[in-house]
Amino acid sequence: IQLCRTITEKHVQHFVHLIELHGRKVLYIKFLQTIVKAENQYIRNCQDVVMSELVSSDEVLMFYEKGNLSDLAERMQSENERSDSNSLLNYHIQLVHLLAMCTEGKNASTEIKCHSLIGLDDIVLIVTHPDCSPEVKNAYITFLTHCYIDTEVEMKEIYNSQHIYTLIENSFCPDIEK
């Protein structure tokens, strides 16, 4: 924990630059996850710095919006993508987990930034997709929990949101029945 508290913006910038330079490697995202959460404790300064650096780099972020969901669906169907720990699918999964980790512990500034990156519509679209893998579903539900439900800025409307009902009816209930 002490070491993580000494991490500076320059350290984080260096790792983000490595992603830009060497490509989307899971290893770099795992390092960022490690400095954001050490020994089950969230390092708020690291959450803020990592989030700021991620948002400022288009190369690092890899999301699938409505128009680009077919690429994610193909990756989820691919046995190579699912089994290769360094695949773009696993990079994406770890990136979504990293974003969730940046909002854990109720961090309002990172929650707001994450809302602009992955909206509720996108979460519902991906999680309810027939080809959604358990790993992708887990990442997005973890993100939903920490970014929209268990938050510093209370969003009471989320509890009555059609998005939540859609997730329950079209994803959670069918999963339970399996």
In 3D, which of 45, 33, 50 has the Cα closest to residue 142?
A: 33
In 3D, which of 136, 142, 173, 144 has the Cα closest to residue 161?
A: 144
The pLDDT value recorded for residue 51 is 96
Nearest-angstrom CA–CA distance, 126 and 73 = 9
**In this structure, what token pair is assigned to residue 14?**
């260096």
- Determine what percent of the chain falls in helix, strand and coil, rounding each to the nearest 5: 75, 0, 25
The pLDDT value recorded for residue 11 is 93
The pLDDT value recorded for residue 65 is 56
The pLDDT value recorded for residue 54 is 94
The pLDDT value recorded for residue 151 is 85
pLDDT along the chain (178 residues), means of 10: 88 93 94 94 95 89 69 91 94 96 92 91 92 94 93 74 87 83
Rg (CA), the chain: 16
In 3D, which of 151, 138, 49 has the Cα closest to residue 96?
A: 138
Task: List CB contacts of 134: < 8 A, sequence separation 6 or more.
Answer: none
The pLDDT value recorded for residue 67 is 58
**In this structure, what token pair is assigned to residue 120?**
């509720």
Q: How many CB atoms lie within 10 A of CB 56?
A: 11
Nearest-angstrom CA–CA distance, 113 and 117 = 7
In sequence order, what are the beta bridge partners of 42?
37
The pLDDT value recorded for residue 163 is 87
- Could you tell me if 95 and 53 are in contact, meaning their C-beta atoms sit under 8 angstroms apart? no
Where does residue 76 rank: exposed (0-12), middle (13-18), buried (19+ CB within 10 A)? Answer: buried
Distance of alpha carbon 140 from its chain centroid, rounded? 6
Nearest-angstrom CA–CA distance, 95 and 90 = 8
The pLDDT value recorded for residue 64 is 61
**pTM (predicted TM-score):** 0.90
DSSP count for the chain of H helices, then E strands: 12, 2
